[in-house]
Every structure is written in structure tokens, then in C-alpha cells.
A and B are shown apart, each in its own frame.
Chain A
Amino acid sequence: MPTFRRPAFSPGSAFAAWFAVLLALVTSALAPARVEADGLRILAATNDIGALARAVGGDAIDVDVVARPDRDPHALEIRPSTMRRATKADLYLAAGLSLDLWSDDIVRGSRNRELVVVVCGELIDPLEIPDGPIDASMGDVHPEGNPHWWLDPIRAVTVARSLAVEFAAADPAGAETYAANADHFASEVVQRMSAWTGALRGRIFVEQHASWIYLAERFDMVIAGKVEPLPGIPPTARHLAELAEVIQDHEVSVVIRDRYHVESGARFLRRKTGVRIEVLPASCDAPTPEAYFSHFDRIVEVLGAP
């Protein structure tokens, strides 16, 4: 057995080493990393925004998305790949209207000084802006308005057109392509509008969370009630009993909830009234225009006329 000598270990030298490492790191961390890219690199907060970015940018751009659609965007653990992309991205497309508080952290933490931030929620007229001062008794109210604007395809077109302008500013050579792509997206939406309107107009449903006002307003639908009495607040027994009455009185046939919502409230309503429960995510599955449109196909399937 070889004899080991105990290493001489003085706290002074340990501190000196620790401090030296720290100093070296701070010095190197001050220099930002830049990577040259050929096409625009876009980082979008959600799939829906990613879909609009892809529709406008076409195949020439690189689109990545921060939030996974099966998780609640209110609470997000930031992963290294997200930060990597933010470091190298040209544009960050935030959702805004307080949906993605973490977007600020990502942008700031990326140390990417050339990153252009576009807050999509600021490009449209929001619905449900609360009148007067907001206080805690109103629940999870977003002070700037309801943040689920992408469920209105016409507002999505507005955002797509603005994105074309933003993309053109970042990449003037592609300006015409971006504008043409935005026009193409607009015409695809217009083409589908009559079918969607035909299927959805006048339909009545109950939602779990206040996500669907933009859809309802665009297609003249009626939201008979919400499982959550106030946004983000779990239902009380009394609220559910009242909602069950509303469902019976108005012959509501479906309650929709997102994948990450708790189902117990909706199950109570089904027991009471026989109403259908459907999982209908507020976001599309992938950051592509095809996924954006097939999300609406699914919406029509669930909420549309039988």
C-alpha cells in the first residue's frame, strides 16, 4: 500500500484559487458570443407564434420555440438549449400581455445585445382589458388584456404582417419574400374563414380557463361559463352547481380544457349534466402554418356543428 501524504490545504490558498477562477470567468463572461448565420434565426415564445414566423419566413429562416405546448406557459423551467438559441437568435418573438413573464429573463440572460425583441401581444387590439384598477379579488387577470390572441385568425394575420415588416428590417434582402409570404398566409386564412364561420357561428360551450374569448368573438360563439370562476382560481362547489344549471338551461354540449388543467371540475359537470369533456389545447402542436391550420380543424371538430 503506497503511503499518501495529506495534501497541505490552507484556507488562504483555497480562497486565492477560488477568487482567481471567479475573476477569470467574469473577464471572459463580459465578452459576448456571436455566431454568423445565413438565414434569420428566430426564437418564438410559443408554437403559435413560431407557426406565424414560419409562415412569414418560409424555409429560409430558422425557427425555435421556448414553451412546450403540453405545459402551462405560466410556469416554465428554462433549459440550456433555449438559452443557447437565444444567444444566437436574431429575433425573439414574445407573446406578451403577461403570458410569458419568463421571456424577459431569457432575453436578458442571453446577453445577446443584437437580439431584436418583438412583443406580439402589442401588435393587436387585446380583448378583456379590465376597467379601472385591478386587485387581487379579480383572480389571474392580465392587466393588459387576455393574452390568447392567436385563437383569432384575423388577429394572427395582423401579427403575421407585422412580423414581415420586422423580418424585413432585420434582413432587407428578404423583404419582398416576407411580404409575399404574409400575403399568402392571409389569403389562406381568408379562404378558410367561411368554412370555419359556418361550422362555429352561434355554437355554445363552456371553457375551463379564460382562453377562448378571441375565437368566440371572431366567430360569434357563446361562452356559457367557465369552470374556473376567476382565471386561475379552482372552482367552488357552489360555482359548479350554478354552472351545471347554466349547462342544462342552455343545452351546452361540451366543456373544453387544456392538457395541463385539472379535470375534477369538468368531471363533476359531466356527472351532473352528461356534458362532453374534450381536451382542446389553446396552442397548436408544432411551429408550422400547417399545424396552426390543423389546430383550427380540431377546434371545428370539437366545437363545430355536428
Chain B
Amino acid sequence: MTTWILEPWTYPFMRWALVCCLVLAGIHAYLGFHIVRRGVLFVDLAMAQMAALGAAVGVVAGLEHDTAAGYAVSASFALAASALFAVVRSTRIPTEAFIAIVYAVASAATFIVLEKSPHGMDEVRHLFVGQVLTVAPSKIGLTAALYSLIGLALWRLHPRILAVTEGRATGGRMAVDFIFYATFALVVTSSVGLVGVLLVFSLLVLPAVGALLVSSSDGARLGWGWGFAGIASLVGLHAAFHLDLPAAPVIVVTLGLAVAGATLLHRWWCAGRSR
């Protein structure tokens, strides 16, 4: 039993995968909270697709793999999308519609750019969609540094971002929105490169929804979000190791089960207390 529990964690790749998930969880739980409250769930998919388009343009333009130039092209496409989301806001059309448009057009453009180059498609996938089991420690370090800076900025701006999210902002909404989406774009671009779209999307949405369901204060929600993400990463990686399955899907399913389970327990507990 002890071996069964400890064996996965004797491998460095498992420990780095967990470190990577926790680094991501730290900032995604916070951003996810705003994304869910704003009802713009698929904004990260749109951003990721824009970043992939940027990566595709980089590959076709002959930029070297994995260089700062490649990353800059990719990130600037995602930043363009964030500017768009900050500027375009209509009372008649829900933001989700703009997100859907960006997603569709960016996907189509990626196909056109790579039309004659499925090998390019492989390269973009390889550059842009990481796998959590093989993530390089140096990249985790860089990402952790970047996310600490972004986290600091978000912490300072939290009251203003929250005001916009809750729809009670007065002046400077566009600037705050742009900063929010820009940090979001940088985070999503880096995270997808580390662990892939599916896991990033799930780390954004599931812990935030779980936290909103079981808790009512802002600070506690962040704690719950980290708790869900951390426990699901730990259990999911452990299960993936013993079942020998690709890690990301297993973590996502575990996250879903954790949130569903916590919600049920919370309902049952509240019902018990009110009786």
C-alpha cells in the first residue's frame, strides 16, 4: 500500500508534473473566478487559438523553434485578441459571440496558413500544445517567475478588476479590461505551451465553479480553488501513473469528480444544518 502511494512520486517526471500543475493552479484559479463570473468561459480557447495562429505564422515565416521571437509572435496575436475583447462590448450582443467569432476565424486562418504544410501542423502542435508529463523544469521556472509578476499585478489591481467583473465599474473600464485580458492572454499562451488546451481550460473553469458553489467569501474561494486544483492534480497524476493513461485527461476527469463530490457534500451538509 505504501509503495502504491509513494512509487509514482519517486520519479522526477511525476514530481515536475505536479509542480507544473500547482504553478498553473495558483493563477488559473484566480483568473477562472473572473472568467466564470463574467460568463466568458471560452475566452481562453479563443486566446489559445489566436496564439496557435501566431505560432503557425512563426513556423511558416521560418522562425526557429522555441525561441523568444516565436513566443513573441504567438503572444502578440493573443494580445491582439485581448485588445479586441476590451474594446468590443455591445449591449445587444453577448461577449460570448465575439469569443466564438475570434475562435472560428483564428482556427480557419490557422488552417489557411498551414494549408500546404501538415508537417507545420505537427510542429505547431508540438511547439504549442505541451504535455504535462514531459514539461521541462526550466520552462516551469520561467513560467513561475512570469506568473508571480502577473499575480502581483493582479493582486494590486484586484479591487478594480472585481468592480468591472461585477459590473459596478464607473471610469476606466476599458483600460482595466485590457489589462485583465492581456494578463490572461500571457498566462493562457504560456500554460497551453506547457500542458495543452484541455488541462488549461479545466484548471480555469472547474476550480472556480467548485469554489463558487461551496463558498461565499472571496478569499475562501481562492483557497477552495487551489484546494480543488491541487488535490485533483495530485490524485489525477497518481491515477494516470497506475492506470498508465495520458495524464491531462485523467486530471480533468478527477477535477470534475472532485467538484461534483464537493458540491454534493456541501448541499448535504447545508441541508443537515438547516434542519
- A81 CB contacts on chain B under 8 angstroms: 244
A139–B224 CA distance with the chains assembled, in angstroms:
49
Choose from A14, A15, A80 the contact partner of B133 (Cβ within 8 Å): A80
Minimal beta-carbon separation of A81 from chain B (angstroms): 5
- B133 CB contacts on chain A under 8 angstroms: 78-80, 83, 109
Tell me which of A29, A86, A141 contacts B19 (CB under 8 A). A29
Q: Mark A218-260, 1 if CB is under 8 A from B, else 0.
A: 0000000000001111000000000000000000000000000
Q: Which residues of A contact B11 (CB under 8 A)?
A: 33, 83-84, 87
> Which residues in B have their C-beta under 8 angstroms from that of A139?
116-119
- Given contacts A18-B22, A136-B120, whether A111 and B12 have CB atoms under 8 Å apart is yes
CA A87 – CA B114 in complex, angstroms?
A: 35
* A14-B223 in contact (CB<8A): yes
Judge whether A37 is part of the interface by a CB distance below 8 angstroms. Answer: no
Q: Which residues of A contact B25 (CB under 8 A)?
A: 18
Once the chains bind, are A9 and B220 in contact (CB under 8 Å)?
yes
Q: A136 contacts which of B15, B116, B219 (Cβ < 8 Å)?
A: B116
Instruction: Pick the most buried of B10, B123, B134, B226: most chain A CB atoms within 10 A of its CB.
Output: B134
Say which one of A47-55, A100-108, A170-178 lies at the interface with B: A100-108
Give the segment of B67-75, B83-91, B98-106, B267-275 that binds chain A. Answer: B267-275
Name which of B60, B119, B126, B136 has the most chain A CB atoms within 10 A of its CB: B119
- Chain B, residue nearest A7 (CB): B220
Interface size on A, residues (CB 8 A): 50
Q: List which B243-268 residues lie within 8 A (CB) of chain A.
A: 244-247
A231: which B residues are within 8 A, CB to CB?
118-119
A136-B117, A137-B116, A232-B118 known; A109+B19 contact, CB < 8 A:
no
Residues facing A in B1-23 (CB within 8 A) are 8-16, 18-19, 22-23
The contact of B23 among A22, A32, A101, A233, by CB within 8 Å, is: A22
- Taking CB as reference atom, which chain A residue is nearest B245? A79
Q: How far is the CA of A39 from the CA of B114 in the complex (A)?
A: 46
Contact with A along B16-56 (1 / 0, CB 8 A): 10110011011000000000000000000000000000000
Asked if A11 CB lies within 8 Å of chain B CBs, one says yes
Q: Are A110 and B246 in contact (CB under 8 A)?
A: no
CB distance from B36 to the nearest CB of A (A): 18
> In this complex, what residue of A is CB-closest to B113?
A136
Task: Judge whether B22 and A80 touch: CB under 8 Å.
Answer: no
- CB-based contact A4/B118 at 8 Å: no
B115 interface contact, C-beta 8 A: yes
19 examples of A-B residue contacts, CB within 8 angstroms: A3-B273, A4-B272, A11-B218, A15-B226, A18-B22, A32-B12, A78-B131, A78-B133, A78-B134, A80-B244, A83-B13, A87-B11, A101-B122, A108-B134, A110-B13, A136-B115, A138-B116, A139-B116, A232-B119
Instruction: Give chain A's interface residues, CB within 8 Å of chain B.
Output: 1, 3-4, 9-11, 13-15, 18, 21-22, 25-26, 28-29, 31-33, 74-75, 77-81, 83-84, 86-87, 98, 101-102, 105-106, 108-111, 136-142, 230-233
Kindly list the 6 A-B residue pairs having the minimum CB-CB distance in the complex, ordered from nearest: A109-B134, A14-B223, A11-B219, A136-B117, A29-B15, A232-B118
